[in-house]
Amino acid sequence: MPKVVELLVHGVGGATPIEQLDDPSPARVSGDQTVGFYRHKSPPPGLIPPDVLPGTGADAPGERSAAVRSELVQEAYCWSGLTSASASRAAWLILLPFTLVNAAAWMRPTGPPGRAGRIGRATNDAVARLLALSLTGTFLLAAGGVGIDLIGWQCAARPQCGSHWSVLAFLAAPDSWAHPAGRRLALTALVPLVLLGLLWFLARRSWVAYESVRFRVDVAEGDGGLSEPGFWEGEFQVGRLRTLHVSLGVVTVALMLTVPALTVDGDSTWGRVLLGVVLAVLLWVVAATAAQSGTRAVPGLALLRLAAFAVLVAAVVYVLAPHDWPGPGHRLPGYGSLLMLWVAGQIVLLLASVVAVALIGRGSSGQMLRGFITPVFAALALFLGIAYSAAVLTRVSDWLGHVEGTAVLLARPPAVVSWAAVAFGLEIVLVVLLVLYLVVRVSWRVRRGWRAVLTEYDAVPTAPHTPGSGPVPEVSSRARGQAKKIVRMRAIATLTESAGRYLAVLVSPLVLLASYGVVTTLTDWVTPPTPRTYATQYVNPVPGIVTLLYNAGSWVVGLTAVGLVTLVWQAYRNEALRKVVGVLWDLGTFWPRAAHPLAPPCYGERCVPELVARITQLTEQGHGVVVSGHSQGSVLAAATLLKLPAERASRVALLTHGSPLQRLYGRFFPAYFDAGQLGVLAARLPRWRNLWRLTDPIGGPIDPVERHEPLRDPVRFFPTVHEVAYPPVRWHLDYPLDSAYGDELAAAADAVGSGEPLRRTSPGPNSD
């Protein structure tokens, strides 16, 4: 009976059990087809894991510790089915802004334990939920712009446009019952409502598969952090937030129907009353979202949802009533102002996020941007949401308006879309400048450092040389190339530490430009200026620069929609591309949906309870467990072991490699992965070792763990007599091929391989 199990947890990008175990036919011993635990059907003889490839500097089989012989079995936990296995996951690209704003909610600094810190944390969480709520509104406003404005109000009102598209013919025909303006608007309001229904369906489907998973064994519970009670059980929280976001979407559609009708009526008493009621329900949604938390439910959510649908029905009745609608040639009355007010509200929320972080207290120098990465990440999410919306509005406007043999028929999108185009153009310039800077920085490091690498590897030519006897021996071009490759990979890896600053450089000008655009628009409410018209009041070269940015950004805006659809379609058809896309979700959907319930689901709420149950089962059977976590797998492993009771943790060792626990998670999410939290984990385990390389841009050292020098990468500089190619730089991959992995695995197995079976204290999954 085996006494030690090496539990492999893979990282980003997905991995199959075949790849993890290097076995063409592994057997599933627990779990299901989506997520499961696998072992060899017929364990290979001798050492497990198999010997490393020859020539990598690994020890010979006979030199390994006896603890890693037949006493050790491999078991692979494969969770890639949650993020990249299904073709439908490709559509999650559209939800990237939701993912980013949800991640931003978890990036707050730790803060002091006092009253000010609690107020700051509560404010930060409330603002994060409101930012997420505003993103849902952005998507609904864009969908309403397509359906209500471009299709219902503009295209269907023009026979040249409406009759050209067969699906719109019944709206465009003058004798059709659906042709009157009010009916067109009411019918095309189905477009944003269908989008809202689709988002609700996807959220509910994932809620059943992910958030509804519960711990079935005893777990450790702490006062905060990842071990907080209910942290990985977001079923009810997501359900409440989903109700709030659906209510907001319904109210947004009601607003888009009420505002145009009231705009053309002017002094309609009923219209003003209805607008007041719609705004009151909107404020109710906002207040309930701000007051919502993971442990406290806001009363009256069912009544709020009923009120949202009631005002939608009232708005439909109001828009169907007789109004003095203007003729074709104008965009939907009030739509541009509604968009700009929405963006203005988002900017106010970003400022509130900055204030919330300041209330918590500036983080330490080890935290990304000293804790202010939260508003930066939230701003990126908002910008992507606006970018998606602008791209869709622009492309649909061009698509509907360009009828064969006819000039452009539709009004251009609102001024906010023009400002978004300028922002795109500015972003192009910033990205190009940043890339050039990084290329120069890395090239300079390579130029200055490659000779030091030769010395480090003792690869400097040592042929004897007598003055006057000939030229000094030189390094071969291949050796020089190998040295430069090593330095280049090390230089690229160091860029990770500055990721927050680079992101701030890219995002901050966009926030300033958006603020400027809002102010200029609000100063001229009736005819809000576009960036190009506003720039004419300045002397050259300002108008020319703005025009150039607008033209470049307009192309990017147009291509964004096409590129996004193409990428989703190709990822749907291509498994390799789908795995690349899945990396985004591996990194972005680890966290529970505490801010945005319509974001892609949190795989941690499925994986952590499952890993806890499996490790509990193995220790109850008397086995020691060595959890081997690579990359994101090390994050899952840490989250799991923090929930493991102390008596179980005493039989578990942790071996992390290529781990972002401190380098990325500790800096981006300090409240959950700072040195204090990692120190708590290290104190609970009999052994924890961490392997890392200077060439790894993701993995790095972990301070609470016993410090080790970085692994040499590559292990040798020159090829052996049996090789032709120079040894590869493995950067973030293939840690088990290094001899240090086998040594640490042997020591970890020795640390947990003795002891009597633990008494079963709670039911677990069926034994394999």
The tens digit of pLDDT for each residue in 264-273 reads 887 788 889 9
Name the token pair of 17. 């059990």
pLDDT at residue 468 greater than cutoff 50: no
Q: Which helix (H) or strand (E) holds 28?
A: strand 27-31
Q: How many angstroms separate the CA atoms of 534 and 401, rounded?
A: 26
Is residue 314 predicted with pLDDT exceeding 90?
yes
From start to end of 559-698, where are the E strands? 624-630, 652-657, 688-691
Residue 761: what pLDDT? 35
Mean pLDDT lowest among 30-44, 64-78, 266-280, 735-749: 64-78
The arithmetic mean of pLDDT across residues 393-414, rounded, is: 68
**pLDDT value of residue 363:** 55
For residue range 605-637, what is the model confidence (pLDDT) as tens digits?
889 999 999 999 999 888 899 999 999 999 999
Q: Read off the DSSP letter of residue 36.
A: E
Where does the pLDDT of residue 2 fall: very low under 50, low under 70, confident under 90, or very high at 90 and above?
low
Q: What pLDDT score was predicted for residue 538?
A: 62
pLDDT, tens digit (0-9, with 9 covering 90-100), for 78-96: 988 777 655 556 667 778 8
pLDDT in tens, 443-461: 999 998 888 888 888 877 6
Q: Is residue 54's pLDDT more than 60? A: no
Q: How far apart are CA 345 and CA 63, in angstroms?
A: 66
Could you tell me whether strands 652-657 and 688-691 are parallel, antiparallel, or unpaired per DSSP bridges?
parallel
pLDDT for the residue numbered 759:
39
Q: Give the range with max mean pLDDT: 79-93, 370-384, 558-572, 622-636.
A: 622-636
pLDDT digits (tens, 9 = 90+) for 87-131: 556 667 778 899 999 999 999 888 777 777 778 888 889 999 999
Segment 347-367 mean pLDDT: 81
Q: How would you class 42 by CB atoms within 10 Å of its CB: exposed for 0-12, middle for 13-18, buried for 19 or more?
A: exposed
The per-residue pLDDT for 176 is: 78
Quickly state the pLDDT bin for 18 (edges 50, 70, 90): confident
Distance CA 66, CA 70 (A): 8
Provide the pLDDT for residue 403: 57
Whether residue 62 has pLDDT greater than 90: no
Residues in the chain, how many?
A: 768
Model confidence at 70, in pLDDT bands (50, 70, 90)? Answer: very low
Which tokens go with 166?
């067969």
pLDDT in tens, 574-601: 666 666 666 667 777 889 988 999 888 8
Contact 286/130 with Cβ under 8 angstroms? yes
Q: How far is residue 221's CA from residue 645's CA, in Å, rounded to a whole number?
A: 8
Q: Percent of the chain at pLDDT above 90?
A: 28
* Position 192 confidence tier, pLDDT thresholds 50, 70, 90: very high
Question: In angstroms, rounded to a whole number, what is the distance separating the alpha carbons of residues 358 and 369?
Answer: 12
In a 10 Å sphere around its CB, with 0-12 CB exposed, 13-18 middle and 19+ buried, how is residue 115 labelled? exposed
Backbone dihedral angles phi then psi of residue 252, each to the nearest 5 degrees: -60, -45
More confident position, 133 or 401: 133
Phi and psi angles of residue 699, each rounded to the nearest 5 degrees, phi first: -80, 155
Write down the mean pLDDT value for the chain: 80
Q: Name the phi and psi angles at 620, rounded to 5.
A: -65, -30
The predicted structure's pLDDT at residue 130? 96
**Tens digits of per-residue pLDDT, 524-544?**
655 566 666 666 666 567 677
Cis peptide leading into 541, omega within 30 of 0? Answer: yes
Give the pLDDT confidence score for residue 289 in this predicted structure.
93
Give the span between the Cα atoms of 303 and 298, in whole angstroms.
11
Phi-psi region of 370 (alpha: psi -120 to 50; beta: other; left: phi over 0): left
pLDDT at 410: 63
pLDDT value at residue 47? 39
Q: Dump pLDDT digits (tens) for 643-663.
A: 888 888 889 999 999 999 999
Q: Is the pLDDT of residue 50 over 50?
A: no
**pLDDT value for 456:** 85
Strands 72-78, 36-39: pairing is antiparallel
pLDDT of residue 279: 96
User: Going by C-beta distance under 8 Å and a sequence separation of 6 or more, which residues neighbour residue 562?
Assistant: 395
Q: What's residue 212's pLDDT?
A: 56
pLDDT confidence bin for 348, thresholds 50/70/90: very high
DSSP 8-state code for residue 624: E
